[in-house]
Amino acid sequence: MGYLVPESESVHRSEALVPSGPAGDLLRRGQAAARRGERARALRLLRATLIADPTNTEARLWLAALADDPREAVQMLSEVLQEHPGHVRAAAGLRWAWERLEAQTAARCVAPPSAPPQLQPLPAPPRAQLVSRIATAIACLAGMLAMVILVSCGVPLQIAPVPVVDAAVWTPEAPSPSPAAELPAATMTVTATPLPTATPAPSATPTAAPSPTPQPQPTAKPAFAGKWIEVILKEQIAIAWEGATPVRRMVVSTGTARTPTVQGTYRIYAKLTKQNMSGPGYSLPNVPHVMYFYGGYALHGAYWHTSFGTPASHGCVNLQLEDAAWLFAWADPQLPKGAQNIYASATNPGTPVVIHP
């Protein structure tokens, strides 16, 4: 259970938060059973606590700690953080649940090595095959000896031309007709003593002087006249600009090395006041102030962690809740009054988003 079990003086502080009445009694008994290692009994008592008091935060924290499936723990702790942003134990528990989930996912991806194939010795050839192979070898040697004798006596040999393999079997480009293909095939004549031909002397090939290596130039900031958003991955910050004037600087959390944030220049194409987000190993309800700029990549608020300033996301740009609310209201496209979602259009375009190292 690790992160959620209170210890020493934390026990008294946690028990002080236990409500009175049937729900409080069930919760105390469930906590005591969990500390004794009676997991099945603890689960029954804690679930009964939620039946008596569906909003009981302590019961949900303990159930998340006892969950076999880390995805269940992620779901439960995300709901707690949604109701209580910045809850220290819930945030620590969510990090712990993510680590468990990533470890399980990595373990599933590692396949056991397959057994090497067993090599079987080749069977010995039958006697009849052995005799046949010896006879074939003798015939070949006799033919070669006859050819040598004929050549040494100056008798010309007529050798049929070797057929050319059709280039259409594989070629990266369509074959073009060759003029030589229309000429009659020449008959090759082997002579006894071919005359040596003079080898042409190699001519000096001029060597081109190497061109100077271009030096990298500093990247100039995009010359957007209106609003635009800059995300600097190395510094883990986002800056809202109006032309060349910075309006707001925000500490963010971008994608990790395993799930990096895309780089380039984009535009916000959709804004949603809130949205449920899910993917491999996570499910987050009611993510606030979502601003999509490329495929499934978005800027949005994050209530489930406080690791801003370090990469911690699955590729999106995580913002603190206050910054996300401000940026959502400032960036285009603007939501009509009373609307919850909006897509960019020619008359209501999205704000450019520039992401770079």
The whole-number mean pLDDT for each consecutive block of 10 residues of the chain, a chain of 357 residues, reads 46 52 89 94 91 89 90 83 82 81 60 48 56 66 57 45 38 39 40 46 43 40 84 98 96 95 96 89 90 95 94 96 97 95 93 97
Using an 8 Å Cβ cutoff, are 313 and 252 in contact? no
Q: Which two tokens stand for residue 321?
A: 């809740």
Dmax (CA) for the chain in angstroms is 120
Q: Which CATH superfamily is domain 9-106 in?
A: Tetratricopeptide repeat domain (1.25.40.10)
Tokens standing for 45? 């008592």
SS3 state of residue 272: strand
Supply the pTM of this predicted model.
0.48
Structure confidence at residue 85 (pLDDT): 77
Structure tokens at 52: 């008596």
From residue 256, give the alpha-carbon distance in Å to each of 156, 196, 236, 284: 77, 69, 11, 18
- 332 by DSSP, 3-state: which? coil
Cβ burial of 327 (10 Å; 0-12, 13-18, 19+) is buried
Query: Would you give the distance in Å from CA 9 to the centre of its chain?
Result: 44
| CATH (residue range 227-356) | 2.40.440.10
Cα 300 to Cα 290: distance, rounded to the nearest angstrom = 4
The pLDDT of residue 208: 41
- Predicted confidence at residue 180, as pLDDT, reads 39
How far lies 70's CA from each of 64, 194, 255, 353, in Å? 8, 83, 21, 34
C-alpha closest to that of 93 among 306, 241, 266, 273: 306
Q: Is 223 helix (H, G, I), strand (E, B) or coil?
A: coil
Nearest-CA neighbor of 55 among 31, 83, 34, 32? 83
The residues, ordered by sequence, that sit 6+ positions from 70 with a Cβ below 8 Å of its Cβ are 97, 98, 100, 101, 104, 281
CA 244 to chain CA mean position, Å? 34
Q: Which amino acid is at 306?
A: T
Which residue is listed with tokens 């209501």?
A: 348
Cβ atoms 329, 205 nearer than 8 A: no
Strand locations in 97-214 (E) = 157-159, 188-190
Q: E strand or H helix at 245, and its extent? A: strand 245-253
DSSP string for residues in 285-317: EEEEEEEEEETTEEEEE-SS---TTS--BSSSE
Return the pLDDT at 101.
Answer: 73
CA distance 56 to 49: 8
For the chain, domain boundaries:
9-106, 227-356
Contacts of 248 (CB under 8 A, 6+ apart): 239, 240, 323, 326, 327, 330
Taking the C-alpha atoms of residue 325 and residue 85, their distance in angstroms, rounded to an integer, is: 14
Cis peptide before 333 (omega within 30 of 0): yes
Q: For CA atoms 63, 68, 73, 76, give the dihedral sign.
A: negative
